[in-house]
Amino acid sequence: MSTNSDRPDYVDPRFPGPDPYAALGDHPTFPLSSTDFNNGDKFGPGIVATEDNPGLSPQLSWSNLPEGTKSIAITCLDPDAPTGSGYWHWAVFNIPVEVNELPTGAGSTAALERISSVDGAEHIVTLKGDSGLRQYFGPMPPSGHGPHRYLFAVHAVDVETLDIDPDATPTVLGFNLYFHTLARSIAWGWYEND
């Protein structure tokens, strides 16, 4: 994952924002991949948002979670947004540990409900992102602002359920994950609106 000493590969001079995970402590990683994009590549049209379509969340699969993992959380952050705090595109948590993959498009509320055949899936919570939607919202950086990274972080969590208000912000989830993350892996791509 690293290209320069211990620096993650998503820390790249092409992008203006910081490493949002630098202050959150070092954690082990685990295999994380997507059939919809290659790590570090520009996203294709299906994943990105348009004026009338929030886009489809990419397929994500993971394995070899550390012992003690009891649930999964997934976030997507654009650290290059001109906000001073990034832009949250997706935040979902309390995914049962038995789940090891989300298919393309699982970021919609209806798609996540289909996972309900897994015990504990009724506790899955999706928070409203900065788009105001309670679902995945794809890359849509401001025109002419340059390339933005989109970091899909899968967190191995040490509790079955995080007791977070469903109307809380992804930042509140991030704060709770600081205390409950056993391991974290990041898959990322980028997008630019000319």
Q: What is the pLDDT of residues 104-163, one digit of tens each?
A: 999 986 666 666 556 667 789 999 999 999 999 999 999 999 999 999 999 999 999 999
Strand order in the sheet with 181-191: 125-126, 87-96, 71-78, 148-157, 181-191
Please give the Cα distance from 158 to 89 (Å, whole number). 24
Q: Where are the domains of the chain?
A: 32-59+67-191
More confident residue, 58 or 45: 58
CATH of 32-59+67-191 given 3.40.50.300, 3.20.20.70, 1.10.150.20, 3.90.280.10: 3.90.280.10
